[in-house]
Amino acid sequence: MRSSGVITGLFVLMTAVAFFALSIGSVPIAPSEILAMIARHPGASAEHEAVFFAIRAPRVLLGLLVGAGLGMSGAAMQGIFRNPLVDPGLLGVSSGAALGAVSAIVLGARAAGALPPSVAGHLVALAAFGGALGAMTLVQRFAGGGGRAAVTTLLLAGIAINALAGALTGVVTFLANDAQLRTLTFWSFGSLGAATWKTSLATAPFVVLPLVVLPRLARPLDALLLGDDEAGHVGFSVERTKRVVLAMSALAVGAAVAVAGIIAFVGLVVPHLARLALGARHRTLLPASAALGATLLLVADVVARTAASPAELPLGMLTAIMGTPLFLALLARERRRLA
């Protein structure tokens, strides 16, 4: 009963923060005007309607999708690797997704004409997904299955894949022209500034599918906390669960990186905070991580676009500043546990 109340509270908080994000900015919009515009009632000024529907609403929607996808993916990955220090960034997934997206931006223009329009329109997102999945597969292979005994190998493999993906991204960037370089600057810091209805709605299927599929794996993820052998003995397909979790996480992270760049630490910190509040059961941990991830990303985005207005601070920089102290606290807690 307590868990249900906490989850409900997190989703109410997420809704309140989203409403706040819709109202605040260089052009403040009163809550009554927002409600009138949502209900399509007259009363809002033309300027406010233009800001709300063309800029702010798609940006908030994209923030909800990216934050929820990163938060839930981080929680699921920590479950299959049985380690709270795992996240898509540490394992090279975000760097692999960025490599795929940057490659599609720089090199994909030549191939786009030969592709069907339905594929060409999602080329960056598909390339980011491919890069994320490739990085995840390499890390899992080097980690020997992701058990506790392989945590050191897992993290070292993630560092190596991060370095390799970063180097290859640099090579591709070297081949970019001036226009492409301006676009690629977006990937270095992370931002929701490119949000439009087209990008937000195109991202939605890539994120919503993992948000629907991953909670259905809550029971096998709970069993995996006991170990691979124990999970297999109670009837769960361990390898199938890992493959689905890795594929869904790569899909969500790839889509997030494709539209927002690399957003650091959300997939690491958010599941840990949810775990402290609700425990390790994935039936509650996964939806809580999605709601908390969306909330924290919207808060960071509000700070990014208002703290130095009219300039905009890099969103990835803010999440790194907020996440680094918590990550160090995680390391200290893990060291005390192993002592």
Q: What is the per-residue pLDDT across 213-268, written as a single tens digit (0 to 9) for each?
A: 999 999 999 998 888 888 888 888 888 898 899 889 888 988 898 888 888 889 98
Q: What stretch of H or E contains 205?
A: helix 197-213
- Select from 207, 188, 158 the least CA-distant residue to 320: 188
Other C-beta atoms within 10 Å of 201: how many?
13
Burial of 118 (0-12, 13-18, 19+ CB in 10 A): exposed
Are the C-beta atoms of residues 41 and 178 closer than 8 Å to each other?
A: no
| Torsion, Cα of 166, 169, 174, 176 (10° steps) | -150
Question: Which residues, given as ranges, of the chain have pLDDT below 50?
Answer: 146-149
Task: Say what the pLDDT of residue 116 is.
Answer: 63
pTM above 0.85, yes or no: yes
Task: Say what the pLDDT of residue 251 is.
Answer: 87
Burial of 20 (0-12, 13-18, 19+ CB in 10 A): middle
- Per DSSP, helices labelled H in 113-150 are 117-120, 123-143
Radius of gyration, alpha carbons of the chain:
20
Task: Say what the pLDDT of residue 148 is.
Answer: 46
Per-residue tokens: 315: 């969103």
Which amino acid is residue 126, in one-letter code?
Answer: L
Task: Say what the pLDDT of residue 111 is.
Answer: 63
Burial of 299 (0-12, 13-18, 19+ CB in 10 A): middle
Q: At the top level of CATH, which class does the domain 61-338 belong to?
A: mainly alpha
